[in-house]
Amino acid sequence: MKPASLLQQYRLNVSVPSLSDTASDFERLQRALLPILDSRPVQPSLASLQDLGPALRLGEWQVSVTLTDAGDSWRLVRVNPAQSKVHIYGLAVDLGTTTVVGELIEPGSGKVLASRIIYNGQRQFGVDVTTRMMYAEKKDGLTELRQAILNTMNELIATLCTDLECHSDAISAIVIAGNTIMMHLLLGFDPSSIRRDPYVPTATVYPILSAVETGINAHPGAPLYLFPAASGYVGGDVTAGLLATGISDKEATSILIDIGTNGETILGNRDFLLACSGSAGSAFEGCGLRWGMAAQPGAIDRVWVTASNELAYQTVGGVPARGICGSGLIEALGAFLQSGAIDRSGKVNRNSSQVILIDGNPEVMIAPENETAVGENLTLRQGDIDNLIRDKAALFAGSRILLANADLSFTDVDEILIAGNFGQSLEVEQAVRIGLLPDIPRERIHFIGNSSLAGARSAILSAEAWQKAQQIAASLTCLELTAETRYFEEYTAALFLPHTNLDLFPSLI
């Protein structure tokens, strides 16, 4: 049986008023809804009440109503004359620190009708959440940050609506998944307490808000659903990812690693969920790297070593290279090590045929200037490589700490799921070669793409899934890595490729 969508649309015949029946228009509408809905009350939006009278009379008492499931009630979003052709869409959003991804979804069919990814406009104030939280403490800083993300959201909506040739008024519900800091900045909450011990956020569970009141362009009655978080650094994007993967319902033990700015890692199954977060993963999103970019046309998403020990690559869309995205960065690091362009400590080998000197500094060449769209050599510098190694070390160390707390090892894990905004594919062997992932049977490792967006999409299409998300967030146990005495030791040991302890990677010896 198909699950009931968060967004519902019904055509109703409403009783005509008379001198013997002078009930209000809304009372009449409630009567017509009574045989269709369960016993939960219907809460109208202001916009729906403003439209109700004219819609009933223009439609000759036949109307089309749009409602959303609000948990303990139904929310009446909009009312239109029955004969008018009204298309309604749900908007699913992954509100990331680096990029914002959105999908317009037809609730009836579940089809994704338009999809876009754009950069988060807050990048001008800092590439990571810590820098942005510091900026928020400046005079008018929080206002500027909030306006930047609202501008980004509305730019995304405008682009999606242009693609679909519709008006933003057609968006009748919005579901957003994002980390806790991004939710604070979107809503104008002061995030400074998250930055300081004991790292307490203003809120982790949010009421269903009005999208328009929040400043997001949509139908005036459209509700805004924000995924609940577990803590200041384990946010709603993690909750959405767990919803999408179904880890909390499985008997098998899984690790979910979200390679994003915060580098969240979750270990668990239907009996327990342990989570941690470290400032890791931003380099794999291209942050702080000269040629880093999202997985858009022109991004190098595959890098490999040829039979003649040269580097080869491919781009998203097969067009000239403009930069390199997460999957390309992971594979590039592995290919550099494999070809001898870097050593196990990540230091660039000046004698390698892949290395060029720019202002006396060695850089590893991926695409020469005559093959790029920017007319420059596309390279990774020593600093870029160092950033990538630090991020991979933090992610691997986080997994090791979670396993130690559960008295488990990687051999006890049935599957490892890697989430992130990658290109079309990623070579698992290279991710293991650099020590980003453990040396376990490769069939246990799966790259699942943007799990945060997948969770938001699931919630649009299923009210039951939205309720499940609340349960998942409440069941997460979060570990603070700075309080874990072994974390720094684990992190330091992982600053080599693949690791200082090669016994952890027997297939690579």
Q: 104 with 186, same domain? A: yes
Confidence of residue 286 (pLDDT cuts 50, 70, 90): confident
Residue 50's contacts (CB-CB under 8 Å, 6 or more residues apart) are none
Please report, rounded to a whole number, the percentage of residues in the chain having pLDDT higher than 70. Answer: 98
- pLDDT of amino acid 360: 92
Residue 270's contacts (CB-CB under 8 Å, 6 or more residues apart) are 248, 249, 250, 251
Q: 370 with 347, same domain? A: yes
**Strand pairing report for 62-69 and 74-81:** antiparallel
Q: 181 with 99, same domain? A: yes
Rg of the chain over Cα atoms, rounded to whole angstroms, equals 25
Query: Is there a domain that residue 232 lies in?
Result: no
Cβ atoms of 450 and 417 within 8 Å: the answer is no
Query: Is there a domain that residue 306 lies in?
Result: yes
From 54, 81, 108, give the residue that closes a domain.
81
Q: 110 with 62, same domain? A: no
Query: Is there a domain that residue 134 lies in?
Result: yes
Cα–Cα distance measured from residue 305 to residue 301, given in angstroms and rounded to the nearest whole number: 14
Per the structure, how many domains does the chain have? 3
What's the rounded mean pLDDT across residues 268-291? 87
Confidence of residue 279 (pLDDT cuts 50, 70, 90): low
- pLDDT of amino acid 280: 61
CB-neighbour burial class of residue 406 (10 A; exposed 0-12, middle 13-18, buried 19+): middle
- Chain mean pLDDT for the chain: 95
Query: Is there a domain that residue 499 lies in?
Result: no
Nearest Cα to Cα of residue 484 among 407, 412, 411, 400: 400
What's the rounded mean pLDDT across residues 420-446? 88
Cβ atoms of 451 and 244 within 8 Å: the answer is yes
Query: Is there a domain that residue 266 lies in?
Result: no
Cβ atoms of 266 and 273 within 8 Å: the answer is yes
Residue 2's contacts (CB-CB under 8 Å, 6 or more residues apart) are none
> In this model, does residue 79 exceed pLDDT 90?
yes
Q: Compute the residue count for the chain.
A: 509
Phi and psi, residue 260, nearest 5°: -135, -165
* DSSP annotation string for 194-213: HHSTT---S-SS-PPEEHHH
Confidence of residue 500 (pLDDT cuts 50, 70, 90): very high
Query: Is there a domain that residue 262 lies in?
Result: no
Residue at token pair 């959201």: 153
- pLDDT of amino acid 509: 82
> In this model, does residue 404 exceed pLDDT 60?
yes
CA-based torsion, 472, 459, 184, 75: positive or negative:
negative
> In this model, does residue 405 exceed pLDDT 80?
yes
Confidence of residue 261 (pLDDT cuts 50, 70, 90): confident
pLDDT tens digits, 220-238: 999 999 999 999 999 999 9
Amino acid of residue 28: R
What's the rounded mean pLDDT across residues 282-287? 82
pLDDT tens digits, 474-494: 999 999 998 899 999 999 999
The partner residues of 446 in beta bridges, in order of sequence, read: 417
Nearest Cα to Cα of residue 219 among 348, 344, 67: 67
Q: 56 with 185, same domain? A: no
- pLDDT of amino acid 283: 84
Nearest Cα to Cα of residue 154 among 105, 91, 248, 225: 91
Query: Is there a domain that residue 142 lies in?
Result: yes
- pLDDT of amino acid 482: 86
Q: 49 with 170, same domain? A: no
Identify the CATH number of the domain in which residue 67 sits. 3.10.20.880
Confidence of residue 422 (pLDDT cuts 50, 70, 90): low
> In this model, does residue 278 exceed pLDDT 80?
no
Give the pTM: 0.94
Minimum mean pLDDT among 14-18, 260-264, 377-381: which range? 260-264
From 356, 387, 418, give the residue that closes a domain.
387
Query: Is there a domain that residue 110 lies in?
Result: yes
Q: 125 with 28, same domain? A: no
Nearest Cα to Cα of residue 72 among 490, 463, 459, 338: 463
Q: In what order do the strands lie in the sheet with 89-95?
A: 112-119, 99-105, 89-95, 171-178, 223-226, 209-210
Q: 62 with 93, same domain? A: no
pLDDT tens digits, 193-203: 999 999 999 99
Question: Per the structure block, which two tokens stand in for 82?
Answer: 């029955």
> In this model, does residue 1 exceed pLDDT 60?
no
> In this model, does residue 439 exceed pLDDT 70?
yes
Identify the CATH number of the domain in which residue 159 sits. 3.30.420.480
Q: 310 with 370, same domain? A: yes
- pLDDT of amino acid 342: 98
- pLDDT of amino acid 488: 95
DSSP state of 217: -
Phi and psi, residue 378, nearest 5°: -100, 110
Q: 141 with 214, same domain? A: yes
Continuous segment of H or E residues that includes residue 383: helix 382-405
Please report, rounded to a whole number, the percentage of residues in the chain having pLDDT higher than 90. Answer: 91
Q: 215 with 138, same domain? A: yes
From 387, 415, 430, give the residue that closes a domain.
387
> In this model, does residue 244 exceed pLDDT 80?
yes
Integer CA distances (angstroms), 344 to 135, 348, 496, in order: 37, 10, 6
Q: 63 with 175, same domain? A: no
Amino acid of residue 158: A
Integer CA distances (angstroms), 436 to 205, 396, 449, 462, 493, in order: 32, 6, 16, 34, 13
> In this model, does residue 2 exceed pLDDT 90?
no
Cβ atoms of 230 and 473 within 8 Å: the answer is yes
Confidence of residue 385 (pLDDT cuts 50, 70, 90): very high
CB contact burial 34-51 (16+ within 10 A = b; e otherwise): eeeeeeeebebbebbbeb
Residue 457's contacts (CB-CB under 8 Å, 6 or more residues apart) are 92, 103, 105, 112
Domain residues for the domain of 37 are 7-81
Cα–Cα distance measured from residue 491 to residue 202, given in angstroms and rounded to the nearest whole number: 30
Cα–Cα distance measured from residue 262 to residue 278, given in angstroms and rounded to the nearest whole number: 5
